[in-house]
Amino acid sequence: MTGDLPAHTILRLGHQGDGIADGPLHVPRSLPGEVVTGEIAEGRIPAPRIVTPSADRVAAPCPHYRRCGGCSLQHASDAFVAGWKADLVRDALARAGIEARIAGVETSPPNTRRRAALSGRKTKKGAEVGFHVPRSPQIVAIPDCRVLDPRILRALGALERLTRLAAPRGAEVTLHVTATDTGIDLSVEGAKPFDRDAMLALAPLAPAFARISWNGETALQQSPPRVTLGPAQVTPPPGAFLQATPQGEAALVAAVTQALAGASRIVDLFAGCGTFTFPAARITPVHAVEGERAALGALAAAARHAPGLKAITTETRDLFRNPLGADDLAPFDAAIIDPPRAGAAAQVERLAASPLRTIAFVSCNPATFARDAATLASAGWRMGPVTVVDQFRWSSHVELVATFHRT
């Protein structure tokens, strides 16, 4: 019985949002200062009983939270989560010897996540579509999810029918869903081979989706999926990266645009489909550099029809293996960089030694950002206040924007 088990005090939260007690013991869905008990398994208390709750504990708003692994922090107040995410950024930079000033935390509202990777599995009675139970292959259905855009929730029935069609026996499919301006864009990975029978079976599902891509190939398109980026209407390639929420994207773009004030020519590194390229091109010419040819093609196609923009040029280039050097950067006075989670150590070294005056740095990983920020600081760059952007509400994921100027 839990009453006979020892009590443990939660000391802090780990980077994944679990509470940490002496041991160390990882205690999911607990908060600093709470006293908990429970059975220990592999260094965890997977089902803790909260003996002494924190003042920051709240009732989770989602009925699926007890089992679903899509969120990890619905039991914490909004103020606590915002402060914790700001501290993640502050602490990562402190370990790199940099004192951070946090300008604010921009948190996206509930039910605004416009893209997600859902899991789908065929069952004897139909199909399961949703998120996994934490540390388990079980899938939780999420009809009342408090995170996803309502347009995605309305498509769950169609996603279940498609899973019945696409999932191999005994295996899962991954359903990458994006709510675009013209409908749901779906990219199915891990599906059975696409054949004539599958093509015929897809036809009744056409009204539920703008486009269905099957193992990377377009299988059905009702209308081109389009997203608005600045003044441009972009048709992204299947499975393309987009910011998770419109509100989060707006916060990131606002911070980047503010950083670029006064720039005369901008280079956008890891430009993707143009999240920052198009807003920046309202100010000054932009050279967009991206390694994914399909994403850059979507950007270039949209640029040809977007009104009110300065010149946009594009370059397909692997910035990990072939970063822009001093000669490449010489024509520009400002750069935007938005690398993947691994950061961009080689490219940042070139930026640090470049003649640029301003760098608007967007990051989705405080640890690699701190490493790259230390590289810039050691070369004499000064970091301004950091804006923390929480698009992945109730998760441990953190994004940020910081501006660097030459001292």
Q: Which residues are identified as catalytic?
A: 364
CB atoms within 10 A of CB 241: 17
Rounded to whole angstroms, the Cα distance separating 21 from 243 reads 34
Amino acid at 41: A
Whether the CB-CB separation of 256 and 275 falls below 8 Å is answered with no
CB atoms within 10 A of CB 154: 13
Question: What is the pairing mode between strands 8-9 and 35-37?
Answer: antiparallel
Residue for token pair 């592999």: 42
How many secondary structure helices (H) and strands (E) does the chain include? 10, 23
For the beta sheet containing 334-337, the strands, ordered from the edge strand earlier in sequence to the opposite edge, are 102-107, 381-390, 399-406, 358-363, 334-337, 266-269, 286-290, 312-316
Q: Give the H/E segment covering residue 333.
A: none
Phi, psi at 255, each rounded to 5°: -65, -40
Residues 6+ apart with CB under 8 A from 86: 102, 105, 388
Amino acid at 269: L
Whether the CB-CB separation of 72 and 17 falls below 8 Å is answered with yes
The set of long-range contacts for 47-54, using a CB threshold of 8 Å and a minimum separation of 24, is: 48/19, 49/2, 51/7
CB atoms within 10 A of CB 321: 8
CB atoms within 10 A of CB 329: 20
* The two structure tokens encoding residue 18: 């679990």
For the beta sheet containing 12-13, the strands, ordered from the edge strand earlier in sequence to the opposite edge, are 12-13, 19-21, 25-27
Amino acid at 267: V
Cα-Cα-Cα-Cα dihedral sign, residues 289, 291, 295, 298:
positive
- Around 136, how many Cα atoms within 13 Å sit in the side-chain half-sphere? 13
* The two structure tokens encoding residue 222: 């009702």
